[in-house]
A and B are shown apart, each in its own frame.
Chain A
Amino acid sequence: KAGVTQTPRYLIKTRGQQVTLSCSPISGHRSVSWYQQTPGQGLQFLFEYFSETQRNKGNFPGRFSGRQFSNSRSEMNVSTLELGDSALYLCASSWGTGGDTQYFGPGTRLTVL
């Protein structure tokens, strides 16, 4: 069974631009969560989607948004990029919600110049 895939793996953008990251969950998984990982803040929860609905949201500004499609694939968008958005963005999928084991993708490394 294929694992969680994330594209692209690496991305370089400049301040003010916007970016879209993609996550394909494990087949059959309906929940997708997104996390931002930085050396200073560690891993922080961005949002969780289940059956195309945002179920939970972390404490991030509205520039961070996401969506989930009917095939459970998810995208995350960051508008008006800032230098501080440079991070590893991780996606995780699980069968359901409520604390099912999460399976993580390799991440997208975003660098904002």
Chain B
Amino acid sequence: KQEVTQIPAALSVPEGENLVLNCSFTDSAIYNLQWFRQDPGKGLTSLLLIQSSQREQTSGRLNASLDKSSGRSTLYIAASQPGDSATYLCAVCDDKIIFGKGTRLHILP
């Protein structure tokens, strides 16, 4: 049974710092992995999708990597801004989509 874990559960960093969010999964037989952002009380916004054959994807200040063999993905955020404060969720797709519980990120102005 696929399980997705995100560490840490919460993170506070000063504005301007680079940071890394971690995601691990137990079964490497996945189609793809997605990173989402969720603002309080809102739906999810897709940030990056990495296909199982890919190693990384980049969008602006965001870079996501995927290492299927070790069951890990990281989301790197460069030059963090207060507007980046949100919960970041990782989800793996292996026919169903299984979400981690998220990392609550707070950027300190």
Interface: B99 (CB within 8 A): yes
B82 vs chain A, min Cβ distance (A): 22
The A contact surface, by secondary structure, is: strand
B72 at the interface (CB under 8 A from A): no
Give the total number of A-B pairs whose CB atoms are below 8 A apart: 51
A103 contacts the other chain (CB 8 A): yes
Interface of chain B residues 34 through 50 with chain A (CB within 8 A): 34, 36, 41-46, 49
Q: Is A45 a contact partner of B96 (Cβ separation < 8 A)?
A: yes
Q: Is the CB of A45 within 8 A of B98?
A: yes
Q: Would you list which residues of chain A between 83 and 113 have a CB under 8 Å from chain B?
A: 88, 90, 92, 98-99, 101-107, 109
Q: Which residues of A contact B (CB under 8 A)?
A: 4, 33, 35, 42-45, 48, 56, 58, 88, 90, 92, 98-99, 101-107, 109
